[in-house]
Amino acid sequence: MPARVCGGVELHWREWGAGPAIVALHPGPGADGALLGDWLAPLGDAHRVLALDLPDHGRSAPAPPGERSLPGYARAVRAFAETLGLGPYTLLGHSFGAFVALTCAVEHPGHAARVIASCGAAAEAAFDGFEARVRAFGRPAVTAAFEAEETARTEADLRAAWRGQMPFFCADPDGPACAALRARLDDVRFRVDVALDEDAFDGYDVRDRLAGVDAPLLAIAGAEDRALPPAAAAEIAALAPRERLVTIDGAGHFPYAERPGAYLDAVRAFAAG
The predicted pLDDT at position 179 comes to 98
Domain spanning 3-130+193-271, CATH architecture: 3-Layer(aba) Sandwich (3.40)
pLDDT in tens, 9-47: 999 999 999 999 999 999 999 999 999 978 999 999 999
Residues listed for the chain: 273
Is residue 197 pLDDT above 90, yes or no? no
Instruction: Locate the DSSP E strands across 81-239.
Output: 90-94, 114-118, 217-222
Is residue 209 pLDDT above 90, yes or no? yes
Is residue 199 pLDDT above 80, yes or no? no
DSSP string, 22-56: EEEE-S-SS--GGGTGGGGGGGGGTSEEEEE--TT
Torsion angle defined by CA atoms of residues 51, 171, 229 and 114, in that order, rounded to the nearest 10 degrees: 30
Residue spans per domain, the chain: 3-130+193-271
Torsion angle defined by CA atoms of residues 48, 49, 55 and 58, in that order, rounded to the nearest 10 degrees: -130
pLDDT in tens, 38-90: 899 999 999 999 999 999 999 999 999 989 999 999 999 999 999 999 999 99
List Cα–Cα distances, 208 to 173, 201, 216, in angstroms: 36, 17, 17
Residues 209 and 192: their CA atoms lie apart, in Å, by 32
The predicted pLDDT at position 229 comes to 96
